[in-house]
Each structure stands twice: as structure tokens, then as C-alpha cells.
């Protein structure tokens, strides 16, 4: 009997091709649209209805069963509240990583297994090696690789997951969609927050929290050089959107949420901009913790270059020792460790 696979179909081309490939490979495929967010925001219409219809059209084309799972309550509690609380605390969390950890590879997986599935599948550009030890590898296409967002997925969840487009690049995926005449073949990639649509973080936070108290922007000399519209909107290393004049560009180097102050510098050599060591908490290792004294590579944000490093561990934290100084390390973001193409795991920068 064929393995029963539930494919998370978002209404995009990647998950559409994922479903098509698995059906071609002989799996018993069911398409599932995860309804995680349906709220419109001021000036932005949530695209969930359009995405749902696109996913359903492809399921009809592929002649596979199709259903919807409603995870709005869980998404609000586990992803949106996590993100908003992080910004209020003055850090910069990553909602997409939490969405993968808590929604796609946790409650979706659990619901699918209860429903009779053997496995789930997604359209992520990453690779899973199934064997005695299940490993997560970077996607074959370095330009589309999404393994950074998947480092918190547990090994037992990866063992029940498939990512068939991880061996391909985007043009190849589009070509398959065109060959099969899929309704999503020319659909543009989604932008913005996971499932929310083309809305920026600032607009989303304004909708959630309302206007914020303005405060002072203070430079490296202790001088007040402008006013911000809410310290929580500013990210360490940020250059744009400061709205302070004076010729040289300014970079955010710190925030004091209690004083409602944002600290900036125009000195690119300012020590607060550069780091040689990173302390990580909320650690997650997919297989085993990285060995001390061995050389690894680390990525400190999506699309950031990989940097050589070593690691030391102390109780519930790990310290990443970089071979080169790195600029604009942001508390709340994730640092992800790689051993070659293999994702070792990582943690949250403090």
C-alpha cells in the first residue's frame, strides 16, 4: 500500500509542485491548506482566500483529496504573540522560524498523523536525509535555501517529513509547474510575515499595539540628534528609516526600552557594531550538540554569509567564537550552525 502523505499546500508554486512530484512518485497524496491567519490589516488585505482557492485549484488539477486545517488560534498564541512580545521586550524575533517549529512541523504533523497520514511534505528548499540518523541539509539552490528557517524542527518530525523540491532550483520548479499546466505556475513568491501577506513588520506591530511613545535618538557622543516613533520598531544594525540628517549615515547600536531611547553611531568602526563572540540561548540541536574545538560555520540571519566559527558550551547557553568580526548582530535573531551542508542546529542571540 502506498505511503499516505499530507502536503501543506500554501497556494504557491513550490508546494503545488511538491504535491505533483509526490503523486508522480506513487505516494497517496492529500493536499492541506493551513488557515493560520485571516485578519485584514489597515491598508492590507489578507490573501488567505486567494491562496486557499489557488491551492484547491491545483488539488483539482492533480485529482487529489483536499482539505483545510484551521490553526488560527494556535498561530496567534504560538507565533504572533511570541513575535509581538519579543518586539515589546526590545529584541527582534523571527516569526517564520517559530511558525515552522510550532505550526508546520508540530501541530500540522500531529493533525495529519491523527488523520491517517504516514508523513507530511512541504515546499521548502531544504533536503532531508532519511536513515538511522535523520539529517537536515541546506537546499541545493543556495539562492533559495530555506534551511535557516528550519533549524528548530525536531529530528523525529523530520523523520516524518518530505521536501522534494530541495534538490532543485526555482527555475526548475517553475518549469515543472508549466509542464503540468498548474494554476500556480506563474504565481509570484509570497512576501512579508509568514501567512500574513505583504505587510511590513512595522505596519503589523502598529496594528497590534497602536502608536508608540516617541523618544530620543542619541548618537555616539551622547547628543540627542532626533526623535524616534517607538523604540520597538528599531533593529540593531539598522541604517534606513532613522530620519536624522547630518550627512553621514547612522546605524542603530542599542536601545533602552525603559528609557525609550535609541542609540546610534555614524562611526562604522564603533565597537558596538561589531562582534567576535555570540552568546546563544534557547538552544536546539537536530542530532547532537556541536563538538567543542571543531570548526563549523554559522549564519546569523537569512541570506547572511556563512562565517567560520568554533563553539563552547556552558549549561543552557553556547558561545559562538567567530573567526572574523561580524557587524550588526541582533538580539532575538537566530544563529544557525552548519557542518558542511548539514544543519547542526542553533539558538537565539542574546
According to the model, what pLDDT value does residue 47 have? Answer: 87
According to the model, what pLDDT value does residue 79 have? Answer: 95
Count CB neighbours of 236 within 10 A: 23
Banded pLDDT at 192 (limits 50, 70, 90):
low
According to the model, what pLDDT value does residue 225 have? Answer: 92
Nearest Cα to Cα of residue 348 among 75, 98, 88: 98
State the first-to-last Cα distance of the chain, in angstroms, to the nearest integer. Answer: 49
Banded pLDDT at 195 (limits 50, 70, 90):
low
Show the CA angle centred on residue 309, arms to residues 306 and 310, nearest 5°.
150
The pTM of the full predicted model, rounded to 2 decimals, is 0.94
Determine the average pLDDT of the residues in 164-171: 97
Domains of the chain and CATH, by start: 4-201 (3.40.50.620), 211-265 (2.30.30.280), 273-349 (2.40.30.10)
Enumerate residues 6+ apart whose C-beta is below 8 A from 266: 219, 220, 246, 248, 249, 250, 251
**Residue that wins the pLDDT comparison between 175 and 190:** 175
According to the model, what pLDDT value does residue 189 have? Answer: 84
pLDDT above 70 coverage of the chain, percent: 97
Q: With 70 as the cut, is the pLDDT of residue 198 above it?
A: no
From the candidates 19, 29, 32, 99, which is the catalytic residue? 99
Q: With 80 as the cut, is the pLDDT of residue 244 above it?
A: no
According to the model, what pLDDT value does residue 132 have? Answer: 93
Known catalytic residue: 99?
yes
**Residue that wins the pLDDT comparison between 243 and 78:** 78
Determine the average pLDDT of the residues in 197-211: 84
Known catalytic residue: 309?
no
**Window from 42-46, 201-205, 343-347 with minimum mean pLDDT:** 42-46
According to the model, what pLDDT value does residue 196 have? Answer: 57
Length of the chain: 350
According to the model, what pLDDT value does residue 43 have? Answer: 78
From the candidates 119, 173, 194, 253, which is the catalytic residue? 194
Amino acid at each position: 500500500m502506498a505511503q499516505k502523505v499530507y502536503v501543506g499546500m500554501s497556494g504557491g508554486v513550490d508546494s503545488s509542485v511538491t504535491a505533483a512530484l509526490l503523486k508522480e512518485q506513487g505516494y497517496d497524496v492529500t493536499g492541506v491548506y493551513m488557515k493560520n491567519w485571516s485578519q485584514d490589516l489597515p491598508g492590507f488585505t489578507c490573501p488567505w482566500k486567494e491562496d486557499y482557492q489557488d491551492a484547491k485549484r491545483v488539488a483539482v488539477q492533480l485529482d487529489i483529496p483536499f482539505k483545510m486545517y484551521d490553526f488560527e488560534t494556535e498561530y496567534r498564541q504560538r507565533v504572533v504573540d511570541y513575535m509581538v512580545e519579543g518586539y515589546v521586550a526590545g529584541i527582534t524575533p523571527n516569526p517564520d522560524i517559530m511558525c515552522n517549529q510550532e505550526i508546520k512541523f508540530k501541530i500540522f504533523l500531529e493533525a495529519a498523523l491523527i488523520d491517517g497520514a504516514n508523513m507530511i511534505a512541504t515546499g521548502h528548499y531544504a533536503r532531508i536525509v532519511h536513515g538511522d540518523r535523520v539529517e537536515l541539509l541546506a537546499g541545493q539552490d543556495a539562492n533559495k535555501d530555506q534551511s535557516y528557517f528550519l533549524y528548530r524542527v525536531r529530528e523525529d518530525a523530520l523523520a516524518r517529513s518530505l521536501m522534494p523540491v530541495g534538490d532543485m532550483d526555482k527555475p526548475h520548479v517553475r518549469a515543472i509547474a508549466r509542464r503540468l499546466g498548474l494554476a500556480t505556475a506563474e504565481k509570484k513568491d509570497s512576501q512579508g510575515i509568514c501567512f500574513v501577506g505583504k505587510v511590513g513588520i512595522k505596519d503589523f506591530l502598529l496594528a497590534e499595539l497602536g502608536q508608540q511613545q516617541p523618544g530620543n535618538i542619541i548618537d555616539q557622543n551622547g547628543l540627542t540628534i532626533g526623535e524616534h516613533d517607538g523604540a520597538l520598531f528599531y533593529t540593531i544594525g539598522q541604517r534606513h528609516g532613522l530620519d536624522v540628517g547630518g550627512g553621514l549615515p547612522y546605524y542603530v547600536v542599542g536601545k533602552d526600552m525603559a528609557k525609550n531611547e535609541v542609540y546610534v553611531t555614524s562611526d562604522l568602526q564603533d565597537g558596538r557594531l561589531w562582534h567576535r563572540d555570540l552568546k546563544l540561548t534557547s538552544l536546539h540541536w537536530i542530532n547532537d550538540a556541536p563538538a567543542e574545538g571543531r570548526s563549523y560555520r554559522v549564519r546569523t540571519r537569512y541570506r547572511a554569509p556563512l562565517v567560520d566559527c568554533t563553539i563552547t558550551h556552558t549549561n543552557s547557553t553556547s558561545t559562538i567564537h567567530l573567526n572574523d568580526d561580524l557587524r550588526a548582530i541582533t538580539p532575538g535573531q537566530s544563529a544557525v550552525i552548519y557542518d558542511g551542508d548539514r544543519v547542526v542546529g542553533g539558538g537565539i542571540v542574546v
